[in-house]
Structure formats: C-alpha cells, structure tokens
Amino acid sequence: MSLILVPGETTLAQLEQIFRNDETAMLTPSARNRIDQSAERLAAAAAGPDPVYGVNTGFGKLANRRIAPEDVETLQRNLVLSHCAGVGDPLDPAVTRLVMALKLISLGRGVSGVRYSVVEQLERMLAQDVLPIIPAQGSVGASGDLAPLAHMAAVMMGAGEALCRGDRMPAKNALAAAGLKPLAFAAKEGLGLINGTQVSTALALKGLFDAWRAMKAALVTGAMSTDAAMGSAAPFRPEIHEVRGHRGQIDAAAFLREVLHGSEIRESHRVDDERVQDPYCIRCQPQVMGACIDLLRHAGHTLETEANAATDNPLVFEDVIVSGGNFHAEPVAFAADQIALAIAEIGSIAQRRIALMVDPTLSYGLPAFLTPEPGLNSGFMIAEVTSAALMSENKQRANPCSTDSTPTSCNQEDHVSMACHGARRLGFMNENLFRIVGIELLTAAQGVEMRAPAKTSTALQRVIAKVREKVHSLSADRFMANDLAAAAHLVEADDLPVEQTMSMT
C-alpha cells in the first residue's frame, strides 16, 4: 500500500519511511483540484499573447526569445534533454525514490502548472519500481537541481536510463516493462520538473537520517566508555543541565543517566577514587552531544519545511504567473552544513574516548591498547589510528559549502548555493562516523569486560551481548578489518538493543 503524501503536511518520519523501507508514495486525492486549476491557468497563459517565462520563452539567458505556440512541446523536450548533463556515479535508488516523492509533494502544492498526468507518471513509476538513473554530480543548487532532475524527467518521457525492478536498461524499455508509456510534456512541464531543490533535499535528508542513527549509537558507546574508564556519572545529574536549558543537552544527559543506571562498575569506585574530574570527552558528553542533537533537529525542521515546498519557477497563482527564486537552495545548503558540523563533532568526541581507552595513563587501570598481553600484542593500537584518520577526514569535509558560490549561465545565475554537493558529502561523512562509533563500540565493550567481576548496567550488558554475537573479545591479535566492519554495520543498521525515545523533531 502506498504512503499518502499531503503537501504541506508530510513529516520527517514519513520521508524516512520512504527512504528506509522502499515505500511507494502517491499524492492525496485532495491535491488534484489545485493541480488541475493551476494547469488550466497555465494553458490559458500559454495560448495568450503575453510572454511568460519558460512557457513561451527560452530559458535563463535566453528568456528574451519568444517561442511559437506550435513549438512549445518541442521546447520542453529540448529543455529536458539539453539539461541531462549530469556526471558521476548514480544516486542510490533509495535517494532517487525520495527525490521522486519530494517532487510529487512540490507539484501537489498546485502552483506548478503541470497536468495531473505528470503526477500520475511519477506515481506509477514509483509503484512499478521504475527509478531513473540520476548522476550525482552537476548541480550548483540554484535554478534548482537542473542536471540531476533533468535525468529524472527524461525517463518520464522515455529518454535516458532507469532501473526497472533492479535491472538497468534504457528508459523506454523500463517504461514498457512496467506497462507505462512515455509522456510528452506540455507547456512548462519540463521546466516544472527540472526546476526545484528535490535532489539537494533528498541527499540532505539521507544525511540527517543517518547522522541521527549515528548520534543515538554514540550516546550508547559514550556511556559504555564512561563505565569502562570508571568515569563519574555525576556530570549527568539533571540539575546541571536544567540550569543551562538547552533541550538537546537535557535529553542527552537523561539518556546517559538512564542507560548507566544500576551499573556495578559505577558503584565500585564511588568511594576512595583519587580522581576529581574526568576528561572532557567523558564529562562533557551532554554538552557536546546535546549541541549536536539541537543542530540536527534544527536542520530537520528546515528540511521538513523544504520537503513540503513548491520550489520550481515560475509559479502559477490564482491571479498571476510570477517568476521568483524558490529554486535557490540556500536553506538546504545551510542545513547540510549544520549536519556536517554535527557529524564531525560526534566523531571527534567519540574518537577522543577511543584514544582514552587505549592509553593506560588515562584509562584508570586498563592495559595498554586493551590487550591482555601488551607488547606481544598490539590490540586496538591501529584501530585507534584508523578512528583518528576518519575523524580528521570528517573535520576537513565539515568546512562549509554554503559560503562558496560561482556565477553560471552567462552571469544570469550569479549566486548559487552549492547545496547539492554540500548534502552529498554527508553520505561519505556518515560512513566515516559509523566506523568511528563502531570502533568505540568495540573498545568500550572490551574495556567493560576487563572490569570483571564488576558488571555494567543491564542495558549496556545487552548491548555488549549483541556485539559479541558479531565480534568476539580480543584476547590476542587477529585480522581486524572484519571486526571493524561488523561493528560499523551494527551502528548503521540501528541494531543496538537500547530503547531511545528522543525525537528528531
């Protein structure tokens, strides 16, 4: 059964459902009346004597060229084909599916001037698992994601390539295999499809969804490292965070308190522990992770708004067809930069805890590199180095993309957002973060086990048991890459058995 999309009301949870679960989607039937009325107004304008951008004129710098009525259909086809200039690897099918759903929502606002048959073509393609091959590179995030969206639109009219139920083939063959026919675009329909921020937004949403998963796992591994290092839970007391007032910080501290509750390790050093304070990577987890949570929530609000927006141009209102700039993806670019900062910082503080765990001068009695026989064995020595490499790579990638701009299209499009590749880099950053947090999962589990006979909390014992289903304790050196991959997968798959009620909104 298809997920019903209500333009203006679609939630992050619904969008993640489409992304995670290969859900098909369709517009609420109540959107049709607005779409039909908008198409009628557009058709009347196309038949009239006045120039209307993109309807009976050229595009961009060629907007002053009038197009004859008999050439309007050719104009739209030429527009789509000429803009199919994307390069690089194709988008992941899950992202492409999300792009198509976002375009449905945008068209469903009823101000794009397209016929309902355009909506139906997208819906049927989703229902039949016909997914355009969309090259990932080529958008500067203004005037819309022109090149990548053109590759989507081309498949709708039978050009380009697509996946049909997982098999790559020419678009015309994919449509035929699904029982669909190529669609000839009427006035403004090609423009309405390629103008918009849906590719940038879909990539940013993927980055948000994955970063939220990594953040949740990092709270778990941070709690485990706290116990493994015999850190104090006093800095997680609620009154500390309530007097500061930041929601994310309060939520992070509450989770850390809850997941550590009942730890025998914690009780074993409440008395006669000569240490006064723990390093910041232990003590300041609520402040750092909380700030990251707040950033992700803020970005989520922006992206949810953008997902429900009409972002093509011109827009068809009841009394006027007007050319504006909703295609400029600056809000998405800023959101992507915020997500990148959060990803970098989650990885940074997790990496410092890994470094603490393998250092006998900081780990309060644990052996060097968490191996029972240091010297003969190197233990987690190079796993920690790998985490440092990934952390530094993410810090470099976290530099803002939104502050970059370059003029395009003969200076007509003279300020652009760079949202698309700003959002696309989040995929690489999250892969690194999954691995960093996965490494901490292993070092923290090893450290907790070395505190036996004292036990960690019941909640964290369940996590360690889950880890040990995939990765055995490190008693002697062995080939490590498979262990790191398995731990990263537990993080990426959201497979740690700890209940978390924190909302992304």
Active-site positions?
A: 53
Helix, strand, coil in percent for the chain, rounding step 5: 55, 5, 35
In the 3-class helix/strand/coil scheme, how is 328-366 assigned residue by residue? CCHHHHHHHHHHHHHHHHHHHHHHHHHHHHHCCCCCCCC
Q: Which regions of 246-401 does DSSP assign to beta strands (E)?
A: 315-316, 321-322
Cis peptide preceding 453, ω within 30 of 0: yes
Q: Print burial letters for 275-304: b (CB count within 10 Å at least 16), e (below 16).
A: eeebeebbbbbbbbbbbbbbbbbbbbebbb
Provide the CA 316 distance to its chain's centre, in angstroms: 31
CA–CA–CA angle 460, 465, 467 (5° rounding): 95
Using DSSP bridges, classify how beta strands 315-316 and 321-322 pair: parallel, antiparallel or unpaired: antiparallel
- Of 72, 81, 32, 73, the closest CA to residue 52 belongs to 72
- Pairwise CA distance, residues 16 & 353, whole Å: 30
């993309």: which residue's tokens? 401
Helix or strand or coil: residue 27? strand
Amino acid letter, residue 344:
A
- Of 61, 137, 143, 136, the closest CA to residue 416 belongs to 143
Q: Are 78 and 68 in contact (CB under 8 A)?
A: no
Burial class (CB in 10 A: 0-12, 13-18, 19+), 268: middle
Q: Are 332 and 141 in contact (CB under 8 A)?
A: yes
The region, left, alpha or beta by phi > 0 then psi within -120 to 50, assigned to residue 93 is: alpha
What is the length of the chain?
505
- Pairwise CA distance, residues 87 & 81, whole Å: 14
The region, left, alpha or beta by phi > 0 then psi within -120 to 50, assigned to residue 71 is: alpha
